[in-house]
Amino acid sequence: MGKYDNVDGSKKKKELKVKFMAKKISIKFKEITCAFCKETGKDPFRVPSKLSDCQACLGKGKVTIADIPHEICGACKGTGIFEHHRLPCSVCKGKGVVPKDRREGPKGMSPDTGLPEIGNY
């Protein structure tokens, strides 16, 4: 297991079985702590009100990512917050992590979604 494979130590995983172009594909996902709200489920900047749900996790406190190697987002440095703004990071979408180099992921699979890339049947 790599340094950032499971960023928050979460062991909860989900699996999705998809039939794509007559092939059955199994895609695994895992839940990690939302970097933007730090698992509170509320907007950390209380915009537009202190009762507003987090924009990144939609109030759940956890976000789901494909179960492939990830690393800390270089744009927000893992905070999930766009620098000098009150918005989720546009690179990691508030998750705080991004997939590692595409060459390390499964061949023909999108590292963002875990689904087959268009053109790879």
Give me the tens of pLDDT residue by residue for the chain, a chain 121 residues long: 444 445 555 555 677 777 767 777 777 899 999 999 999 999 998 878 888 999 999 999 999 998 888 889 988 999 999 888 888 998 899 999 998 865 445 566 666 666 677 765 5
Nearest alpha carbon to residue 39 among 18, 20, 56: 56
pTM over cut 0.75 = no
Strand order in the sheet with 13-20: 13-20, 23-33, 62-66
Nearest alpha carbon to residue 59 among 30, 83, 87, 36: 36
Helix (H, G, I), strand (E, B) or coil at 102: helix
Please report, for the chain, the start and end positions of each structural domain, with discontinuous segments joined by +. Answer: 13-104
CA 21 from chain centre, in angstroms, equals: 26
Q: Are 49 and 4 in contact (CB under 8 A)?
A: no
